[in-house]
A and B are shown apart, each in its own frame.
Chain A
Amino acid sequence: MCLGIPGRIVEIREDEGLTMGTVDFGGAQREVCLAFVADRAQVGDYAVVHVGFAISLVDEVEALRTYRLLEEMGEMEGA
């Protein structure tokens, strides 16, 4: 239920009325259904992909913030 992997949307198209796209996962590419995120998705965005569907988009601003916080914490702990 949980295997959702982030990948970069490299192409968006319509396939018989369904919004589909090509997503690149660090070198492996696959067709992914973008119907659930079609209202917001753009080429270059990162999507969380589960069983061939984008179930949400990655918010890069939040991602950066999370990682910065983690790094700061790491510094404090002498990581």
Chain B
Amino acid sequence: MKHLTEYRDSALSRALVRRIRDRVTRLRVLMEICGGQTHTLIRQGIDEVLAGSVEMIHGPGCPVCVTPLEQIDRALHLAADPRVILASFGDMLRVPGTGGDLLQSRARGGDVRVVYSPLDALALARRTPDREVVFFAVGFETTAPANAMAVWRARELGVPNFSLLVSQVTVPPALRLILEAPGNRVEAILAAGHVCAVMGWEEYEPLAEEFRVPMVVTGFEPLDLLEGIFMAVEALEGGRWGVENQYVRSVRREGTPVARDLMERVFQRVDRAWRGIGTIPGSGLGLRPELAAFDAEVKFGLAGIVASEPAECRAGEVLRGRLKPPQCPAFGSSCTPDHPLGAPMVSSEGACAAYFNAGRRKGEDGAAGAVGEAGGEHGLQTGASDLKGPGTRPGRKERAP
């Protein structure tokens, strides 16, 4: 596939790895905030081959993982309503809420449908005028324009039985939180290529300046990631900071203005809770009041559904890059993709699942770390120093596996 598979060339990948290893003068700590990038890094074993030169920390870049418990519970509530068809991206179906996930809801008779595009959900609403179609609008800025268009068209075409359950988040506030945190070890950031394809990178410039951190807008294929890592390493070794663009074939500084424009007209900035992290002010997008007719929370009166998010969840530490999944005591034992405790183990982009599926696991089959042992050991050592920050949290409850 053109513009895709050529960026998977093995020989060039290995050459880039050598280049990176030669360039670093000490261990460099980088963070990416993108589930898709986590996925590629782990599936290709890139963090394994860079061990000792570059440590990749996986930030909260998976919108599935950060969707608050409350929103999942609201989705479950809607799915159980006989008037409702709940349409969702496939990623969300196995994320646990209080008392189950959407797949189980379907097993109990809820009408839950997987769609590829928000426009499919709108088309579904037009085909089934006697049912209420609610689309679970999850995502970062990459997905926001698509979700916005679904609402925009619903209004234009006069489709009354369509609404969105919104759980949109934005990257820059989370980035600020991470860079501000005491004990932050991240030296450079790989910015998510497709978020920036939409938004451009103007918003990142002040952050790069304030925190004196190199930020490289990076794509998703192995060569993209390696080139992005190399550019970040070059900047660090040269004592430079600021925003650079690796993903030049798809990203321009102003992004896609028509998309940003629609987002402005449909959404407004709101505070949003990130699962396991807590509320980050101004980090979310919500429907503007004039579009309340398409807001499922308003339409179905969901304000009463609140989930008591437990004090803090391990998933939060993973999402903030302060814990490597294999260090979580539940990882691979009481928490596996078969019976996940938290969202990062469910979502195929979640750091925990990515690690598990790539094989960094300890588990009942005793195959623990037999493959990629070096990477695992390294992870344990650096991970331990992560925890010099705020230490244990009070009030943690014992959970039976």
Contact = CB atoms under 8 A, between A and B. Distances in A.
- Chain A bound to chain B: yes
Interface of A: 1-6, 8, 16-18, 25-26, 33, 35-39, 46, 48, 50-53, 55-56, 58-60, 62-63, 65-67, 70-71, 73-74, 76-79
B132 to A, nearest CB: 22
B275 interface: no
Given A1-B61, A55-B259, 20 more contacts: A2-B34, A2-B35, A2-B195, A3-B36, A26-B1, A38-B258, A46-B2, A48-B197, A50-B194, A51-B116, A56-B198, A56-B252, A59-B249, A60-B249, A63-B3, A66-B249, A74-B16, A78-B15, A79-B12, A79-B14
Nearest to B197: A56
B63 interface: yes
Contacts of A65: 248
A1 B143 contact: yes
A8 to B, nearest CB: 7
A26 B146 contact: no
Instruction: Please indicate which of the listed interface residues A2, A3, A50 has the most CB atoms of chain B within 10 Å of its own CB.
Output: A2
Given A36-B259, A53-B146, A58 B117 contact: no
B140 interface: yes
Nearest to B12: A74
A51 B118 contact: yes
Nearest to A67: B6
Contacts of B192: 1-2
Contacts of B223: 70
Interface in B56-96: 61-63, 89
Contacts of B142: 1-2, 4, 50, 55
Q: Give the dominant DSSP class at A's interface.
A: mixed
B256 A56 contact: yes
Interface string B1-23: 11110100101101110110000
Contact of A62 (B120, B145, B197, B248): B248
B154 to A, nearest CB: 12
B303 interface: no
A26 B153 CA distance: 30
A2 B146 contact: no
Contact of B120 (A18, A39, A52): A52
Interface string B344-370: 000001000000000000000000000
B267 interface: no
Given A2-B192, A33-B149, A8 B36 contact: no
A74 B256 contact: no
A1 B63 contact: yes
A25 B249 contact: no
B119 interface: yes
A51 B141 CA distance: 13
B227 interface: yes
A25 to B, nearest CB: 7
B214 interface: no
Contacts of B227: 66, 70
A2 B153 CA distance: 24
Of the listed residues B35, B36, B145, B192, the one surrounded by the most CB atoms of chain A closer than 10 A to its CB is: B145
A48 B12 contact: no
B325 interface: no
